[in-house]
C-alpha cells in the first residue's frame, strides 16, 4: 500500500516547482501518480523524474542505423518542414531502403513524437535544482549564480540535436498544439516559475532586495528565450557573440538593481 504526498511536498523534496510536478503528472511522467478530487497525489516512493544524471538520457541515446535515421529526420524536418519530408526522403538521405526505416520507427509521426519526447526530456536536464540554487545563493557571487541558474545549458553531446529539435518545436508551434504546449510548459511557464522561486529564496535570505519576483522572472526568462531563438537561427559568429554579451550585460544590470537597494547591513 502506497503512502502518498501532495504535489507541494514532492516539489519541495525534489527541489523543483509544483507546476513542474503537475505537468509531469498530467503527462504520465511520474509513476503511480493519481488524481483525486482534482488534486494530484504522488507515491512517497516514486522515483525522482528530474534527476540530472547521464543515465536519464539513455532512452534517447540511439546508436547505429536508428541514430542515423533520427538525426537525419531532425535535419530534414527543420530544413524543409515536417510536412514536406517523407519517409522515402529520410531513407534516401540515410542511404538505406525505405522499408528499413520501419524497422526502427513505425511512421513519420512516431519520429516526430520521439523528437518531442527528446525535447521534453533534455530541455531542463542540466538546469540546477532549487536545492542547488539555495546552496549557491548563500555564499557564491550573485552574478555567477544567476548565470549558471538561468542561462540555458544543454549537454555537449546533444547540442546539435537540441538546436535542430528546438527549431522544429518552434516551427511546429504555429500548427501543432502539442508543440505549442511543449514550448509553453518548458520554455515559458516553467522558466518563469523556476526563476520566481529562486528569487524568492534570494530575498528571504537577504542576498537581494525585496522585488516584484514575478516581473523580474518574466524579464529573466525573456532574455533566455531571446538568446535561445538567436541560437537556433544560427546568426554569424560575431553577431551571436554580441547577443551573448548583451545577455551578460542584462544579468549584471539586474544583479546591480537588486543589490543597490539592499539595507547597509546586508
218-259: pLDDT as tens digits = 999 999 999 999 999 888 989 999 999 999 999 999 999 888
Q: Are residues 114 and 221 in the same domain?
A: no
3-state secondary structure of 43: strand
210, pLDDT greater than 80: yes
- What distance in Å separates the CA atoms of residue 261 and residue 211, rounded to the nearest whole number? 10
- pLDDT tens column, 133-158: 989 999 999 999 999 899 888 877 77
Domain range spanning residue 134?
123-259
Q: Do residues 190 and 216 lie in contact, with contact meaning Cβ atoms separated by under 8 Å?
A: no
- Buried b / exposed e over 152-188, threshold 16 CB at 10 Å, is bebeeebeebbbbbbbbbbbbbeebeebeebbebbbe
As for how many domains the chain has, the answer is 3
Residue carrying C-alpha cell 530534414 = 76
Section 86-102 average pLDDT: 95
Q: Are residues 148 and 113 in the same domain?
A: no
pLDDT at 52: 41
Mean pLDDT, the chain, integer = 86
157 lies in a domain?
Answer: yes
264 lies in a domain?
Answer: no
Q: Are residues 146 and 228 in the same domain?
A: yes
- pLDDT tens column, 165-197: 999 999 999 999 999 999 998 899 889 999 999
- What distance in Å separates the CA atoms of residue 155 and residue 139, rounded to the nearest whole number? 26
Nearest to 51 by CA among 155, 136, 146, 124: 124
Q: Are residues 171 and 247 in the same domain?
A: yes
Amino acid at each position: 500500500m502506497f503512502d502518498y504526498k501532495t504535489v507541494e511536498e514532492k516539489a519541495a523534496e525534489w527541489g523543483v516547482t509544483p507546476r513542474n510536478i503537475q505537468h509531469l503528472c498530467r503527462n504520465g511522467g511520474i509513476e503511480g501518480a493519481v488524481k483525486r478530487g482534482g488534486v494530484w497525489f504522488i507515491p512517497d516512493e516514486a522515483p525522482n523524474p528530474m534527476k540530472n544524471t547521464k543515465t536519464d538520457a539513455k532512452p534517447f541515446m540511439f546508436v547505429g542505423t536508428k541514430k542515423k535515421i533520427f538525426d537525419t529526420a531532425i535535419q530534414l524536418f527543420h530544413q524543409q518542414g515536417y510536412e514536406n519530408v517523407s519517409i522515402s526522403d529520410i531513407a534516401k538521405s540515410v542511404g538505406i531502403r525505405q522499408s528499413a526505416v520501419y524497422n526502427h520507427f513505425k511512421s513519420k509521426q512516431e519520429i516526430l513524437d520521439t523528437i518531442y519526447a527528446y525535447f521534453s526530456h533534455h530541455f531542463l536536464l542540466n538546469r540546477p535544482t532549487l536545492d542547488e540554487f539555495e546552496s549557491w545563493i548563500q555564499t557564491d557571487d550573485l552574478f555567477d549564480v544567476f548565470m549558471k541558474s538561468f542561462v540555458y545549458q544543454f549537454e555537449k553531446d546533444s547540442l546539435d540535436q537540441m538546436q535542430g529539435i528546438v527549431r522544429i518545436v518552434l516551427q511546429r508551434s504555429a500548427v501543432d498544439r502539442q508543440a505549442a504546449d511543449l514550448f509553453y510548459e518548458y520554455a515559458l511557464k516553467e522558466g518563469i516559475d523556476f526563476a520566481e522561486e529562486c528569487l524568492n529564496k534570494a530575498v528571504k535570505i537577504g542576498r537581494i532586495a525585496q522585488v516584484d519576483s514575478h516581473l523580474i522572472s518574466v524579464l529573466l526568462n525573456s532574455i533566455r528565450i531571446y538568446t535561445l531563438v538567436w541560437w537556433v537561427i544560427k546568426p554569424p559568429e560575431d553577431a551571436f557573440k554580441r547577443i551573448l554579451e548583451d545577455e551578460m550585460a542584462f544579468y549584471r544590470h539586474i544583479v546591480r538593481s537588486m543589490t543597490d537597494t539592499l539595507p547597509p547591513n546586508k
